[in-house]
A = this chain, B = another copy of it.
Amino acid sequence: MPGNKKKVSNKFGLPPGTLIHIGEKKVEKPKITVIDYNESVFQEKEVESVEECLPYKDKPTTTWINIDGLHQVETIEKIGNYFNLHPLLLEDILNTNQRPKMEEYENYLFIVFKMLYLSEQGEGIIYEQISLILSENCVISFQEREGDVFNIIRERLRAGKGRTRKMGADYLTYSLIDATVDAYFTVLEKIGERIEETEDAVVRNPTMEIVHKIHNLKRELIYLRKSIWPLRDVINLLERSETPLVKESTELYFRDVYDHTFRAVDTLETYRDMVAGMLEIYISSVSNKMNEIMKVLTIIATIFIPLTFIAGVYGMNFKFMPEIQWHWGYFASLFLMAVVGITMIFYFKKKKWL
């Protein structure tokens, strides 16, 4: 389960603002890429050290600095120094257990959210924490590992078509969030498929394994909810905030991505209701099976127990048992048994147990 394994307690006792990476080390060496563009210019390069990013800082063009990998604390610290970021903010970037949130600082906005995508085997869901810093001409993004969800944005910037190149850092921020939210739907669809599969299986073959699948789906949905739900408020805050960093023309786009997040949350809730109902079906299904088995046992037992008793009676060794001597005694006893058995069957038929 994501986030559970990361020990926050390692940090216990350190003064606030102490930078320590909480999370798994997911890449070997942090990779820093800079993309600098405006409508006519486009430059993309991978830099070795943070210092190389500095020249872009004061350029009028829009600059996107992306850092993959958070475990090298010094890199993050340097960026903090060069770009004048608050130490508490840096601490938040490094702690990958954040709730999605948005914070306004004097010259920049700080946005944290979760990127979700399916693992390459297509089974598990990968949770990655993304931190964005939006300042006037610059977006700095921090990822836990080399991402693929943002690649589309890179492609779009390289291609130079569409609106992205023409608009500023706020639109870039929007694009990154939009790409992330779009990726949520891919994850949700996968979950949707798994729910349908499980739903079929519950009815066909209710085993303990199904209970586990249902339980895992529930957990998965709890985690998804925790990741997606607060993003709605973050985007709403972005749309409504009066910061000059988000231009009015971009607000419409944030409204749109807000809508998408709402839809994702809606879908999640629907899934939740559906999964909640599944355990009830499981229990009904199992208790139904039990019932059927019990019925068979009851019928077999109640038919044969009296018959066996009759046989037992005529198996007694008493010296004087008149029926024993009768010529047709044996057949009479068989006939008696048949009568008892058939009566019982009719009784069960009447009771609708057969």
Contact = CB atoms under 8 A, between A and B. Distances in A.
A317 B308 contact: no
Given A263-B97, A321-B317, A288 B329 contact: no
A interface secondary structure, majority: helix
A339 interface: no
Interface residues of A, number: 110
Contacts of A179: 13
Contacts of A41: none
Interface in A102-117: 103
Interface string A182-215: 1101100100100010000001000110011001
A314 B280 CA distance: 50
Given A298-B297, A316-B314, A183 B12 contact: yes
Give the number of times this chain occurs in the complex, counting copies: 5
Contacts of A297: 294, 297-298, 301-302
A13 B270 contact: no
A55 interface: no
B296 A186 contact: no
Given A99-B263, A284-B211, A316 B330 contact: yes
Contact of A319 (B7, B152, B192, B325): B325
B12 A182 contact: yes
Interface of A: 4, 7-9, 11-13, 15-17, 86, 88, 91-92, 97-99, 101, 103, 152, 156, 161-164, 174-175, 178-179, 182-183, 185-186, 189, 192, 196, 203, 207-208, 211-212, 215, 218-219, 222-223, 226, 252-253, 255-256, 259, 262-263, 266, 270, 273-274, 277, 279-291, 293-298, 300-302, 304-309, 311-321, 323-330, 333-334, 337, 353
Closest 4 CB pairs of A and B: A311-B312, A314-B316, A318-B330, A13-B152
